[in-house]
């Protein structure tokens, strides 16, 4: 293409995958130049950039040793500033979490795992410098936690409580919103979020992590597929150079990319609460609600298969139903109607959740 025929030059990510001595390596140019050419967005000097990538791959192949393995991601930048997007105001904010570990109703097993995680964080220096336990996900890289399980089981709340326990600020990001609101700018937004977390020494929480950490696409059929692979590569790159705490929450974990799984220090499953946990949750929210002919213990026994978030919604709707009928107390029938309303949200019709 001729330079004079190019318009609207912009900066963006460009990535290529290489197989180097049996290992996958992504080479990324963070501020590659793109231009509009005959209605299509084209990478400028693509041949030259590709040749540069090949030369880098050769250098890596000739430089790897037993103690200096092939990196999974190599990132290059000319130092140019790509288009800044203010995602902070709309999609995330630095906050002071107020939840405490004691306020999160968890099973005994999950509590034990959380305690181990906190011990690892609080004793990080001792583990590495005195006991020389490097290479266990605690040194010079992000400390990655993964919370998975059904919705409403306290994953995000627990992440906020951990930040509070560690006296750190928190940045919580819903990845699906981050991606859908700024299509094509997702990798840049991820970089910005990590930078913000580093500057504020904040715990970084990504909700709905399965939407971008699933297995890499090997058959690229459209631009969107290409963008997904770049997004994953940038996330892995940021995890490599971030030294703080990152928590991913997800309802699905089966398809996580192997490269990401290797970076997880602890993967903790959050289950639906059993009867004892349900009793604690009912008590937490019902301490002032007037009940008629029904005890909190009976409510915990009767309504099964629901999350803590479901219980909170049931209590709210039961109160509304009672008030609508001009009642001064909430009865079992009110809770029953509220329960049916809440669980109806999970009914499946034609393969879609309502």
pLDDT digits over 258-297, tens only? 778 888 888 999 999 999 999 999 998 998 899 999 999 9
What pLDDT sits at residue 252? Answer: 76
Question: What's the pLDDT score for residue 310?
Answer: 94
The structure tokens 């793109």 sit at 34
User: Residue 345 contacts by C-beta under 8 Å, 6 or more apart in sequence?
Assistant: 353, 354
pLDDT at position 160 is: 94
What pLDDT sits at residue 222?
Answer: 45
Tens digit of each residue's pLDDT (9 = 90 or more) over 5-52: 555 677 777 878 788 887 778 888 877 888 776 667 778 888 899 889
**Res 354: pLDDT:** 37
pLDDT value for 232: 80
- For residues 5 and 13, what is the distance between their CA atoms, to the nearest angstrom? 22
Contact between residue 81 and residue 10 where contact means Cβ atoms under 8 Å apart: no
Closest CA to 101 of 144, 166, 158: 158
Point out the residues of the chain with pLDDT beneath 70. 1-8, 37-39, 79-91, 134-140, 176-184, 214-228, 254-255, 347-354
């Amino acid at each position: 293409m001729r330079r004079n025929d190019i318009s609207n030059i912009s900066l963006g990510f460009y990535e290529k995958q290489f197989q180097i001595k049996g290992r996958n390596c992504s080479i990324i140019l963070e501020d590659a130049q793109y231009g509009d050419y005959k209605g299509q967005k084209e990478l400028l000097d693509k041949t030259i950039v590709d040749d540069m990538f090949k030369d880098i791959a050769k250098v890596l192949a000739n430089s790897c040793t037993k103690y200096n393995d092939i990196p999974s991601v190599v990132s290059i930048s000319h130092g140019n500033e790509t288009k800044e997007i203010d995602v902070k105001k709309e999609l995330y904010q630095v906050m002071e979490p107020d939840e405490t570990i004691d306020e999160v109703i968890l099973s005994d097993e999950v509590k034990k795992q959380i305690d181990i995680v906190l011990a690892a964080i609080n004793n990080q220096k001792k583990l590495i410098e005195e006991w020389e336990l490097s290479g266990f996900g605690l040194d010079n890289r992000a400390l990655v936690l993964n919370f998975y399980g059904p919705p409403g089981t306290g994953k995000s709340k627990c992440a906020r409580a951990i930040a509070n326990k560690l006296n750190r600020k928190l940045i919580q990001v819903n990845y699906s919103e981050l991606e859908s609101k700024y299509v094509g700018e997702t990798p840049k937004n991820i970089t910005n979020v990590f930078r913000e977390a580093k500057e504020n020494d904040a715990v970084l929480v990504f909700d709905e992590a399965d939407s971008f950490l699933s297995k890499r696409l090997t058959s690229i059929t459209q631009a969107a597929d290409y963008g997904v692979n770049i997004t994953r590569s940038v996330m892995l790159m940021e995890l490599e150079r971030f030294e703080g705490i990152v928590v991913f929450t997800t309802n699905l974990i089966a398809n996580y990319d192997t490269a990401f799984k290797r970076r997880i220090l602890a993967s903790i499953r959050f289950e639906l609460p059993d009867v004892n946990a349900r009793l604690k949750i009912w008590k937490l929210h019902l301490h002032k609600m007037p009940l008629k002919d029904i005890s909190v213990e009976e409510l915990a026994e009767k309504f099964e298969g629901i999350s803590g978030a479901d219980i909170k919604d049931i209590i709210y709707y039961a109160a509304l139903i009672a008030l609508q009928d001009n009642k001064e107390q909430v009865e079992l029938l009110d809770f029953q109607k509220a329960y049916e309303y809440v669980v109806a949200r999970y009914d499946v019709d034609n393969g879609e959740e309502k």
